[in-house]
Amino acid sequence: MEAKLKFPDEVSDILEKPVEKSLIELVAIGLYRDGKITLRQAADLIGVTIKKMPQILQKHNTYLSYGLKELEEDIAYATSSE
């Protein structure tokens, strides 16, 4: 899906990274915070390692949540041939 948004130059000047990357990061963190996606899925969306996610979450005042869903995902990942 593609969406076009127009931002004032002031917004771009404030952001630490390109607007597109910042928006994807905010969406991924919001979905994670709401329990819609797992930590691994958020990391994949943002394009970082799962080890980097706690730092990103902290920057956005979001707590790390580790529940049954994440445990099952980690077990499946650990036992896969990837």
pLDDT tens digits for range 39-73: 999 999 999 998 999 999 999 999 887 778 878 88
Tell me the residue range of the domain where 65 lies. 18-79
Say if 5 falls within a structural domain: no
Distance CA 8, CA 24 (A): 18
Number of folded domains that form the chain? 1
Written as six digits, the tokens of 12 are 């771009």
Distance CA 19, CA 56 (A): 16
b/e burial code for range 27-66 (CB count within 10 A of at least 16 → b)? ebbeebbeeebbbbbbbebbeeebeebeebbeeeebeeee
Q: Which residue has the tokens 């730092």?
A: 55
33 pLDDT band, cuts 50/70/90, is very high
